[in-house]
């Protein structure tokens, strides 16, 4: 069975986001072994300098890197990543699985994104949109798209 790890900075604070995330996480259980690893978000001053932000991202990045399971295919969610549609996302994951990838680590940063080191170490940089979304909402969007991809690859009817 494919293993999917979601490594995300911070925790879901809003109950409606937790409920939506848990619903798609439950649905994914039919297709993959799914785990969530929440990384502690660095505290910043009310008006952080670029250097303070960079330093915080580096510390978060170190914790993200330590949490990635060995031999995982690393997928960093970042705005400068490639844009693809849902069908292409499903196809790409299927192709990667067929070529031997059995463990995927999806990486979601905090409100300032991911460190440059984490992005450089990624096997694939993926963007869901040129728009900016709250990092907490991205968990819900990602798990829905993963469910859609697995259902689509399995011949299900969820994707219309």
pTM over 0.85: yes
Task: State residue 141's pLDDT score.
Answer: 97
Mean pLDDT rounded to a whole number for the chain: 95
Question: Dihedrals φ, ψ of 71, to 5°?
Answer: 65, 20
Q: How confident is the model at residue 159 (pLDDT cuts 50, 70, 90)?
A: confident
Q: Which of 73, 61, 67, 66 is nearest to 4 (CA)?
A: 73
Residue pLDDT, tens place only, 7-17: 999 999 999 99
- The structural domains of the chain, with segments of one domain joined by +, span 2-153
3-state secondary structure of 41: coil
Cβ contacts of 16 within 8 Å, gap of 6 or more: none
Q: Architecture of domain 2-153 in CATH?
A: 3-Layer(aba) Sandwich (3.40)
3-state secondary structure of 103: strand
């Amino acid at each position: 069975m494919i293993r999917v790890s979601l490594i995300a900075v911070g925790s879901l604070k809003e109950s409606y986001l937790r409920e939506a995330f848990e619903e798609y996480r439950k649905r994914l259980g039919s297709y993959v072994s799914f785990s969530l690893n929440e990384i502690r978000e660095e505290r910043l001053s009310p008006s952080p300098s670029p250097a303070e932000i960079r330093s915080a991202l580096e510390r978060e990045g170190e914790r993200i890197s330590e949490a990635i399971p060995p031999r995982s295919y690393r997928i960093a969610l970042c705005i400068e990543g490639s844009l693809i549609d849902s069908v292409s996302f499903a196809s790409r994951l299927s192709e990667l699985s067929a070529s031997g990838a059995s463990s995927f680590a999806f990486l979601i940063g905090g409100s300032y994104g991911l460190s440059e080191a984490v992005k450089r170490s990624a096997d694939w940089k993926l963007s869901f949109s040129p728009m900016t979304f709250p990092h907490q909402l991205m968990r819900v969007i990602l798990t829905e798209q993963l469910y859609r991809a697995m259902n689509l690859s399995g011949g299900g009817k969820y994707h219309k």
